[in-house]
C-alpha cells in the first residue's frame, strides 16, 4: 500500500508511503482517489495529507512517462480532492515538488515545516505542471510569481511561500498543526479555484519571454508554460485544466522531455555501485599540492564541505599566492551571499598554506594540482608518500597525463587515483574519477565519497590521453580548427554552436581557459601524433602572437578594456593566410554544416571511448559532456543526442566525410556495429576497464 489512511476522531489522516521520495505513480494515484471516497463515506470533518519519511512528494513518477498514461490520472484525482465537500489540509515536510505541489494546491489549506520546499520543477524534465499547477497557482500568487516559479523550476522555502500567499502557515510540526486548525477558520478559507483569476500583465509576460530567450534558448517547455498560464487566465478552471493536460501530454512524449529524463536518471545513477563494498578512508584533513586557480578552487570546495585543508607550495611566494587565491574565493562568496560571516571565518580557520609537508602528516587524502609535467608529478608523489600516513589516498588532478606512470612513482600504486576537477572547481559539478591499472577499491570508494561530500557528479573513467572529457574536447577543437582553416571564422563557428544550445562556442570558451594550455598539450603530443593526421597550425600562430585569450586582452576575440568580446579581423586574416600557405581553396560552410562536423567528430570519438572501456556507459559520457563541457542538457547529452539521430544515419554522414579525410573521419567500429545491429549507444556497456 503506497497510501495509508487512518481515522483519528473526526479527522482523516492520509499518508503517502512510496519510498524513497513518495513519487506519485499509479498506486499512489489510486490510493489517493480511494482516500477521497473513504473520507466522504466516513463523513469526516477534515483530511490531513502528508508523506511518510519526512518527505511530502517529489512529483509524478517520471519512470511512467515512457508509457501511455493509465487511469486514474492525477488531474482527476486532484479535482476529486478539490471538489470534495470535506476540506483537505496538506502538511508538508521535506519537499512538495511537481505533482506533489499540485496535491497541495488542490487542498484547502497548506502548512509547511520551516525547512520544507515547494516548487514546480517540471520544466527541468521538459514538461509543464500537468495536474493543475499552471491553473490553480496564479489564483493564489498572481501571474508574475507563477510564471517565475514554473518557468525556472526553482523551489521556494517555507517562509518565501508564506510571504507570497502560496501557503497558510509555517510550523515545526505541520501535521500536529493541521490537527489543531480551528474548524471555523478552515471553513473560511476560499479554495484556490474560487479565488478571482490573476490579472494579465502583458509587459511582465514579454519580459519573462525575453528572459527565457536569453537563459533557456531552444527549450520548449518554459515557453509553453507561459502560454498555458496565460490562456487559463481568461477561462473557467475546467477549460484551463483541459488545455494544460493536452500541453502536458504533448510535451511528455517530446524529444526534449525524453532527453531530459535521460539526463535526470543518468545523474541519479552516478553514485558508488552496490558492488563496491570497500570502505572509503575517513575524510577530515586533505592536503592539496599547488595553490593556483585549480588548487585553490578545490580547496574552497573542500572547505565549504566542512573539511580541513592544507595547501602545499614550493616557496613563500607560492604560499602567498595560495592564501590570496583562496581568500579571494571566500570573499567573493561572502559578497554574493553564498556564505555568511560565520562560515567565512570557519573556512579561514580550517585553511592553511605552507611549504612544510610535515603539516599534512595526518591527512588521509592528498590532491595534487601542480604543474602538468610528469617530472613534477613524480617528485610530488614521492614527497606525498613520505609525508602522509601509509594508508592515505594519493590523487592527481591531472587533465591529460598517464595516471599509471604517476602511480609508479610510489611504492604502493594501489593508493593512487585520479580526481579530475573542472574549473572553477568550487562551482563545476563534474568529477572524473580516474581508475588506474592498480587503483584499489578503497581509493575508488574514497573518490566516490569525496564526490558525495562535495555534491559533485562522479564519473569513473579509465586511463588515456585526456580521459573522457578532454579527449572528446580535443576532437571538437580539431574539427573547429579545420573548418576555421578551410573557410569559416571563429565567430561563425561559435554562433553555430550557441544556436545548438551551448552557452558559448569553442573559441569563446578557449579564450576563457587560455590558449596556452592546449598549446602546451600539443607540444607534449608532438612525438606521438599520427603523421598522417592533418595538423592545423592557426592556434600555434595565435600563441606566437601572444594572443592567449582573455587574460592577455586578446585571443580568438579581442577584449578591449577587459569588457565584452569583439570580433578580431586579424584572426580571420590569419586563418586566410594559413590556408593560402597550405594551398587550400576556402569554402563557405553553413551553420548546419559547422554543427554537423563538430558534433560528428565528438560522437565518433565518444563511441571509441565507450568501445575501449574508458567510460562505463554512454550515459556516463553524457554526464561528462553536460556537467563538464556545457553540452545542452535538453539535447540529452552527446550520446543521447546521437541516439536521437540514429547510428546508421551517423555512419552514413561519417562515411561521406571520410571521402575528404579518411584518417580524421574514420568511423568508430562501435558506431558501425550499432548501425548494423540497430542498437542504441545508450544500451551499450563499455568494454575495457569496465568489462565484467
Nearer to ligand 3H9, 129 or 240 (CB): 129
51 binds ligand 3H9 per the rule CB under 6 A: no
Judged by CB under 6 A, the residue of 268, 335, 336, 585 near ligand 3H9 is: 268
The set of cell numbers assigned to 357 is 609537508
HEC string for 128-192: CCCCCHHHHHHHHHCHHHHHHHHHHCCCEEHHHHHHCCCCCEECCCHHHHHHHCCHHHHHHCCCH
99 binds ligand 3H9 per the rule CB under 6 A: yes
Which stretch in 126-134, 210-218, 393-401, 485-493 sits in contact with ligand 3H9 by CB under 6 A? 126-134
Q: Which residues pair with 368 in a beta bridge?
A: 289, 396
Residue 302, classified by CB atoms within 10 Å of its CB into exposed (0-12), middle (13-18) or buried (19+), is buried
Judged by CB under 6 A, the residue of 12, 121, 487, 686 near ligand 3H9 is: 121
Cβ atoms of 395 and 369 closer than 8 Å: no
125 binds ligand 3H9 per the rule CB under 6 A: yes
Task: Report in angstroms how near the CB of residue 32 gets to ligand 3H9 at its nearest.
Answer: 13
116 binds ligand 3H9 per the rule CB under 6 A: no
Task: Report in angstroms how near the CB of residue 193 gets to ligand 3H9 at its nearest.
Answer: 17
272 binds ligand 3H9 per the rule CB under 6 A: no
Compute how many other C-beta atoms are within 10 angstroms of the C-beta atom of residue 660.
Answer: 12
Considering only residues 530 to 559 of the shown chain, the ones binding ligand 3H9 according to CB under 6 A are none
The set of cell numbers assigned to 120 is 514546480
Using alpha carbons, select from 110, 16, 2 the residue that is nearest to residue 56: 16
Nearer to ligand 3H9, 117 or 420 (CB): 117
Cis peptide before 365 (omega within 30 of 0): no
Cβ atoms of 450 and 283 closer than 8 Å: yes
The set of cell numbers assigned to 225 is 508554460
82 binds ligand 3H9 per the rule CB under 6 A: no
CA atoms within 13 A on the CB side of 180: 8
Task: Report in angstroms how near the CB of residue 606 gets to ligand 3H9 at its nearest.
Answer: 24
Task: Report in angstroms how near the CB of residue 267 gets to ligand 3H9 at its nearest.
Answer: 8
What SS3 class is residue 366? Answer: strand
Which stretch in 116-124, 305-313, 593-601, 665-673 sits in contact with ligand 3H9 by CB under 6 A? 116-124
Cα–Cα distance measured from residue 246 to residue 75, given in angstroms and rounded to the nearest whole number: 12
Using alpha carbons, select from 633, 625, 639, 652 the residue that is nearest to residue 683: 639
Task: Report in angstroms how near the CB of residue 60 gets to ligand 3H9 at its nearest.
Answer: 4
Cα–Cα distance measured from residue 497 to residue 503, given in angstroms and rounded to the nearest whole number: 8
Task: Report in angstroms how near the CB of residue 396 gets to ligand 3H9 at its nearest.
Answer: 29
Task: Report in angstroms how near the CB of residue 134 gets to ligand 3H9 at its nearest.
Answer: 9
240 binds ligand 3H9 per the rule CB under 6 A: no
Judged by CB under 6 A, the residue of 102, 568, 596, 622 near ligand 3H9 is: 102
Nearer to ligand 3H9, 129 or 297 (CB): 129
336 binds ligand 3H9 per the rule CB under 6 A: no
Which residues have C-beta within 8 Å of that of residue 175, sequence separation ≥ 6? 13, 48, 50, 91, 93
Which stretch in 118-126, 192-200, 351-359, 625-633 sits in contact with ligand 3H9 by CB under 6 A? 118-126
Task: Give the alpha-carbon dihedral of 364, 399, 625, 642, to 10 degrees.
Answer: -130
HEC string for 217-234: CCCHHHHHHHHHHHHHHC
The stretches of 234-361 forming alpha helices (DSSP H) are 237-252, 255-269, 293-304, 316-335, 341-349
Judged by CB under 6 A, the residue of 16, 131, 384, 654 near ligand 3H9 is: 131
386 binds ligand 3H9 per the rule CB under 6 A: no
Question: What are the phi and psi torsion angles at 394 (to 5°)?
Answer: -110, 120
Which stretch in 97-105, 143-151, 343-351, 647-655 sits in contact with ligand 3H9 by CB under 6 A? 97-105
62 binds ligand 3H9 per the rule CB under 6 A: yes
Cα distance between the two ends of the chain: 37
Question: What are the phi and psi torsion angles at 685 (to 5°)?
Answer: -95, 135
Cα–Cα distance measured from residue 594 to residue 591, given in angstroms and rounded to the nearest whole number: 5
129 binds ligand 3H9 per the rule CB under 6 A: yes
98 binds ligand 3H9 per the rule CB under 6 A: yes
Task: Report in angstroms how near the CB of residue 169 gets to ligand 3H9 at its nearest.
Answer: 23
Nearer to ligand 3H9, 21 or 384 (CB): 21
130 binds ligand 3H9 per the rule CB under 6 A: yes
Task: Report in angstroms how near the CB of residue 332 gets to ligand 3H9 at its nearest.
Answer: 27
Which stretch in 123-131, 563-571, 582-590, 597-605 sits in contact with ligand 3H9 by CB under 6 A? 123-131
Quote the DSSP letter at residue 436.
Answer: -
59 binds ligand 3H9 per the rule CB under 6 A: yes
Judged by CB under 6 A, the residue of 11, 14, 16, 21 near ligand 3H9 is: 21
Which stretch in 125-133, 357-365, 442-450, 580-588 sits in contact with ligand 3H9 by CB under 6 A? 125-133
58 binds ligand 3H9 per the rule CB under 6 A: yes
Task: Report in angstroms how near the CB of residue 271 gets to ligand 3H9 at its nearest.
Answer: 7
Contact residues: ligand 3H9, CB under 6 A: 20-21, 23, 58-63, 74, 95, 97-99, 102, 121-122, 124-125, 127, 129-131, 133, 265, 268
Amino acid at each position: 500500500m503506497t497510501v495509508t489512511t487512518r481515522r483519528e476522531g473526526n479527522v482523516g489522516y492520509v499518508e503517502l508511503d512510496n519510498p524513497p521520495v513518495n513519487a506519485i505513480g499509479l498506486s499512489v494515484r489510486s490510493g489517493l482517489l480511494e482516500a477521497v471516497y473513504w473520507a466522504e463515506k466516513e463523513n469526516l470533518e477534515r483530511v490531513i495529507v502528508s508523506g511518510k519519511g519526512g518527505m511530502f512528494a517529489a512529483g509524478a513518477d517520471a519512470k511512467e512517462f515512457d508509457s501511455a498514461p493509465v487511469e486514474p490520472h492525477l488531474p482527476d484525482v486532484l479535482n476529486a480532492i478539490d471538489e470534495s465537500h470535506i476540506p483537505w489540509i496538506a502538511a508538508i515536510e521535506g519537499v512538495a515538488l511537481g505533482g506533489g505541489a499540485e496535491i497541495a494546491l488542490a487542498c484547502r489549506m497548506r502548512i509547511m515545516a520551516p525547512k520544507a520546499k515547494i516548487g514546480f520543477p517540471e520544466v527541468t524534465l521538459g514538461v509543464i505542471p500537468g495536474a493543475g499547477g499552471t491553473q490553480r497557482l496564479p489564483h493564489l500568487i498572481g501571474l508574475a510569481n507563477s510564471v517565475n516559479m514554473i518557468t525556472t523550476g526553482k523551489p521556494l522555502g517555507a517562509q518565501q511561500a508564506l510571504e507570497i500567499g502560496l501557503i497558510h502557515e509555517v510550523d515545526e510540526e505541520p501535521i500536529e498543526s493541521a490537527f489543531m486548525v480551528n474548524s471555523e477558520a478552515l471553513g473560511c478559507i476560499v479554495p484556490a479555484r474560487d479565488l478571482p483569476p490573476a490579472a494579465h500583465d502583458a509587459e511582465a509576460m514579454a519580459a519573462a519571454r525575453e528572459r527565457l530567450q536569453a537563459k533557456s534558448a531552444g527549450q520548449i517547455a518554459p515557453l509553453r508554460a507561459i502560454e498555458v498560464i496565460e490562456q487559463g487566465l481568461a477561462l473557467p478552471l475546467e477549460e484551463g485544466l483541459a488545455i494544460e493536460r493536452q500541453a502536458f501530454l504533448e510535451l511528455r512524449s517530446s524529444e526534449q522531455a525524453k532527453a531530459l529524463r535521460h539526463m535526470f536518471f543518468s545523474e541519479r545513477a552516478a553514485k558508488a555501485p552496490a558492488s563496491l563494498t570497500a570502505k572509503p578512508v575517513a575524510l577530515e584533513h586533505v592536503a592539496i599540492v599547488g595553490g593556483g586557480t585549480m588548487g585553490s578552487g578545490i580547496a574552497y570546495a573542500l572547505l565549504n564541505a566542512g573539511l580541513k585543508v592544507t595547501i602545499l607550495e614550493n616557496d613563500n611566494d607560492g604560499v602567498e599566492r595560495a592564501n590570496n587565491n583562496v581568500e579571494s574565493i571566500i570573499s567573493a562568496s561572502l559578497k554574493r551571499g553564498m556564505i555568511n560571516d560565520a562560515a567565512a571565518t570557519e573556512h579561514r580557520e580550517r585553511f592553511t598554506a605552507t611549504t612544510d609537508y610535515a603539516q599534512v602528516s595526518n591527512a588521509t587524502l592528498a590532491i595534487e594540482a601542480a604543474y602538468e609535467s610528469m617530472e613534477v608529478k613524480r617528485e610530488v608523489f614521492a614527497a606525498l608518500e613520505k609525508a602522509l600516513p601509509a594508508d592515505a589516498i594519493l590523487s592527481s588532478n591531472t587533465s591529460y597525463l598517464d595516471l599509471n606512470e604517476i602511480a609508479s612513482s610510489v611504492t604502493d600504486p594501489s593508493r593512487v587515483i585520479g580526481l579530475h576537477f573542472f574549473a572553477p572547481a568550487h562551482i563545476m559539478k563534474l568529477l572524473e574519477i580516474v581508475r588506474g591499472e592498480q587503483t584499489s577499491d578503497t581509493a575508488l570508494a574514497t573518490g566516490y565519497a569525496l564526490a558525495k561530500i562535495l555534491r559533485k557528479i562522479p564519473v569513473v573513467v579509465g586511463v588515456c590521453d585526456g580521459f573522457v572529457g578532454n579527449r572528446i574536447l580535443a576532437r571538437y577543437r580539431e574539427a573547429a580548427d579545420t573548418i576555421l582553416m578551410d573557410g569559416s571564422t571563429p565567430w561563425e563557428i561559435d554562433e553555430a554552436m550557441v544556436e545548438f544550445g551551448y552557452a558559448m562556442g569553442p573559441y569563446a570558451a578557449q579564450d576563457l581557459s587560455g590558449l596556452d594550455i592546449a598549446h602546451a598539450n600539443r607540444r607534449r603530443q608532438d612525438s606521438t601524433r599520427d603523421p598522417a593526421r592533418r595538423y592545423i597550425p592557426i592556434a600555434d600562430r595565435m600563441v606566437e602572437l601572444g594572443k592567449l585569450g582573455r587574460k592577455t586582452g586578446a585571443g580568438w576575440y579581442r577584449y578591449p578594456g577587459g569588457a565584452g568580446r569583439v570580433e578580431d579581423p586579424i584572426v580571420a586574416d590569419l586563418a586566410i593566410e594559413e590556408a593560402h600557405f597550405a594551398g587550400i581553396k576556402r569554402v563557405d560552410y553553413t551553420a548546419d554544416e559547422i554543427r554537423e562536423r563538430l558534433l560528428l567528430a565528438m560522437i565518433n570519438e565518444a563511441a571509441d571511448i565507450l568501445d575501449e572501456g574508458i567510460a562505463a556507459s554512454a550515459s556516463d559520457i553524457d554526464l561528462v559532456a553536460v556537467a563538464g563541457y556545457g553540452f545542452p542538457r535538453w539535447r540529452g547529452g552527446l550520446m543521447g543526442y546521437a541516439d536521437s539521430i540514429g547510428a546508421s544515419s551517423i555512419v552514413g554522414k561519417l562515411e561521406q566525410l571520410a571521402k575528404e579525410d579518411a584518417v580524421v573521419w574514420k568511423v568508430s567500429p562501435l558506431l558501425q556495429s550499432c548501425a548494423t545491429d540497430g542498437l542504441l549507444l545508450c544500451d551499450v556497456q563499455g568494454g575495457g576497464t569496465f568489462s565484467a
